[in-house]
Chains A and B, each alone.
Chain A
Amino acid sequence: ETGVTQSPTHLIKTRGQQVTLRCSSQSGHNTVSWYQQALGQGPQFIFQYYREEENGRGNFPPRFSGLQFPNYSSELNVNALELDDSALYLCASSLGWGGEQYFGPGTRLTVT
């Protein structure tokens, strides 16, 4: 059974640029959630995708957007990057909306 994988591991971007982060779900999981973990904080819910549709969103602006593909892999896109977007971005997959969430290792994004 393959766990949740994320790419890239690390990324450095400049303020104003756009970034795409990728996540492959655990085998058999159809739901993906994205979280942002700033330094010294706990993960914060960004949004969740179920069967290719966003079905829940946290307090993040529209420049945070996502996609889920037919194979249930997912992307997180962030436009117009700001310095405060520097964080660890975690992806979690689950079976269904309320299933136990399995986290990937995260992508460390640094915005300069």
Chain B
Amino acid sequence: DQQVKQNSPSLSVQEGRISILNCDYTNSMFDYFLWYKKYPAEGPTFLISISSIKDKNEDGRFTVFLNKSAKHLSLHIVPSQPGDSAVYFCAASTRTQGGSEKLVFGKGTKLTVNP
């Protein structure tokens, strides 16, 4: 079963406009949520996170919104820049039986920002 879902495989926006990437989850026990960015031939890079007790977190051009009742989060990038073009993964943090933290990832959304 897929606990973290990113239903849009791709998104294309114009430079300077807003990019909105969406993510849905099914497990209410997730502690916090993260967004990672991945360029080809590189590992995922942490972008921004939000605790399950908050509904908004902002860091420069990046803002993440969490709607717990809808089990939905979104990443807003304003303004979008061509360098933002990458695959964005939504991830949720939970604990294994052994107590370690594990990240559960969505399938990713490929963002293309056109100049």
Residues of A within 8 A of B (CB): 4, 31, 33, 35, 40-45, 48, 50, 54-58, 90, 92, 97-98, 100-106
Contact A105-B100, Cβ < 8 Å, known A40-B107, A43-B89: no
Residues of B within 8 A of A (CB): 4, 6, 36, 41-46, 89, 91, 93, 95-108
- Chain B residues contacting A41 (CB-CB under 8 Å) are 107
Other-chain residue from B41, B42, B45, B102 in contact with A56 (beta carbon distance below 8 A): B102
- Chain B residues contacting A100 (CB-CB under 8 Å) are 46
- Inter-chain contact A42/B4, CB cutoff 8 Å: yes
Other-chain residue from A4, A58, A106 in contact with B102 (beta carbon distance below 8 A): A58
Contact A103-B44, Cβ < 8 Å, known A43-B89, A43-B105: yes
Nearest residue, chain A, Cβ from B94:
A45
The complex places the Cα of A41 from the Cα of B87 at a distance, in Å, of 11
- Inter-chain contact B105/A55, CB cutoff 8 Å: no
- Chain B residues contacting A50 (CB-CB under 8 Å) are 100
- Chain B residues contacting A90 (CB-CB under 8 Å) are 43-44
The complex places the Cα of A70 from the Cα of B108 at a distance, in Å, of 35
- Inter-chain contact B98/A56, CB cutoff 8 Å: yes
Nearest residue, chain B, Cβ from A41:
B107
- Chain B residues contacting A105 (CB-CB under 8 Å) are 41-43
Contact A48-B102, Cβ < 8 Å, known A56-B97, A105-B41, A105-B43: yes
Nearest residue, chain B, Cβ from A106:
B43
Other-chain residue from B45, B91, B98 in contact with A54 (beta carbon distance below 8 A): B98
- Inter-chain contact A45/B103, CB cutoff 8 Å: yes
The complex places the Cα of A44 from the Cα of B104 at a distance, in Å, of 7
- Chain B residues contacting A42 (CB-CB under 8 Å) are 4, 6, 89, 91, 105-108
CB distance from B109 to the nearest CB of A (A): 10
Nearest residue, chain A, Cβ from B45:
A103
The complex places the Cα of A107 from the Cα of B3 at a distance, in Å, of 25
